[in-house]
Structure 1
Amino acid sequence: MDNDLFPLLQLCDSNFPSGAFSHSFGLETYIQEQVIVDKESFKTAISAFVDKQLVFSDGLACSLSYEILENNRGMDELLEIDRLLFVSTLAKETREGNRRIGERMAKLCLELYSSAPLEEFLYFIKNKQGYGHSALVFAIVGHHLQIDKEKILSAYLFASVSSLIQNAVRGVPLGQTDGQKLLVEMQVKINEAKNKIKKLTKDDLGAISPGLEIAQMRHERLPVRLFMS
């Protein structure tokens, strides 16, 4: 078994305590409005999430961050990607959710892997000069462990989808078997997303769906909520 597989499995594990299990990133709005009611309707919603949010925002940021590290372009450019991610996210809960997950993941990964760039990134977060996002943490850790970009990007996309599916098992609710079936079915979509991201540039960052952004904003006013965003 490849040595780089072990950290990827750990980062993608649903038990990894990043706090992602507390967030739906707007999908709970669709659940309460009964747009999402079963496996198929959730598959439609999460496919749109992958095509927009993950391709043009989080996944692209992970890819761009890895390239910055690979080419030794410095922390300033990483912080610029971090800033663009934060300011292009219109919904407050989603901005804060991403920040909390990223900071928590950075702190935990720094204890697991001694990485100078990760320590520097966390320093800027703690001193309010950076916001923190799990996409950047994934890229920093992957580069530090010398895992190639495609594997890291695939792992990040998979972890994001897996987390949302596990949350849907609780929130829709879906059966555990349906959740696992959906995770298998989404593997094709994840691979398509990775191939799309490879063709994008920094200019494409933040081009996501207005409908999803509105659902994320409306989540703040739901009368009853299982998730923080």
Structure 2
Amino acid sequence: MEKHITHTNSIKLKSLSRFMQILDGTFPSGVFVHSFGLEPHIVKEKVKDIDSLKIYLKNLIIDQYSKMEFVYVQKTYKYLYENKLALLKKLDNEISSYLTYEYAKASRDIGHNYYVQIKDTLLKDEVKEYFSFIENKKSDVNELVVLASYAYDLDISIENFIVMWTKKNLINIAATTLKISRIKPSQVQKMLFEFDEILENIDFNFDSKITNFNPLFEEIIFEHKTLEPKMFVT
């Protein structure tokens, strides 16, 4: 019994260790995040202090991630579990149609970087087969589907993957405010800690319909057409 418990824990630690490494932007393996209008939000003073930054990031989860990215993650797990790999390939290839050219290109480029780094570490046959589509250039290799597939391969739950992926993005977006606003680093750090509770209480019963319409993003971009959202890439 004791050996079994130790072995189970080591698998979980290995999975978390792998994702700590692959999601860390310090290594030039590729990390990108879309600002979703952070710059015009700050110029228009819709984001001007730590409280309005928190609202902006919370709305990003509600209006953007939960209606698009989280749905893609859920579908990726579902198709892998049901071994419906043709649908997963179709899902991967359709993501780009929802994204701007720069966003789609960054997603594919960094997804391919992840693919190269992790393809020889896979455990599950269904994930290996999906990766064979990438190898044969039949799949777009978008970052989110590659990472979600790898999380599935490592037996990381949908909930844990979504929380880790989202927190990584929130950190990267919030860090950029240090360069373009007067919000203090200590305030940002404290605010990000508060998101742990928000992420812990996400309703994971996502609608199966995918949409990339973010009302706050659309309103701000319409008001400030000359200031485009940025891609933050490492």
TM norm structure 2: 0.76
Q: Aligned pair in 2 of structure 1 residues 132, 199: CA closer, same or farther (>3 Å)?
A: same
| Contiguous gaps of at least 5 residues in structure 2 | 1-8
Is residue 18–residue 102 contact of structure 1 (8 Å, CA) maintained in 2? no
Measure how far apart 1:157 and its partner are. 2.1
Within a 5 Å distance, the mapping from 1:132-151 to structure 2 comes to 132-151=141-160
Q: Does 1:184 align with 2:193?
A: yes
Question: What is the aligned partner in structure 2 of residue 208 from structure 1?
Answer: 213
- Equivalent residue in structure 2 for 1:87, among 80, 93, 97: 97
The aligned residue for residue 80 of structure 2 is 69
Give 2:217's aligned amino acid. L
The question of 1:78 aligning with 2:84 is answered no
- Displacement, 1:180? 1.3
Cα displacement (A) at 1:207 = 5.1
Aligned to 2:134: 122
* In structure 2, distance between residues paired with 1:82 and 1:16: 25
Instruction: Tell which structure's C-alpha radius of gyration is larger.
Output: 2
1:228 Cα offset (Å): 5.5
Name the structure 1 match of 2:39.
28
Give secondary structure in 1 for the equivalent of 2:103.
Answer: helix
1:8-31: per-residue Cα shift (whole Å, max 9, x none)? 322333425454356423322322
> Structure 1 residue 144: deviation in Å?
1.6
Gaps of 5+ in 1: none
Please say if residues 72 and 145 of structure 2, whose CA atoms lie closer than 8 Å, have aligned partners that are also in contact: yes
Asked whether 1:222 is paired with 2:227, we answer: yes
Find the aligned partners of 2:94 and 2:40 in 1 and give their Cα distance. Answer: 25
**RMSD between aligned residues:** 3.2
The 10-residue stretch of structure 1 (155-164 or 94-103) with the greater mean CA deviation from structure 2? 94-103
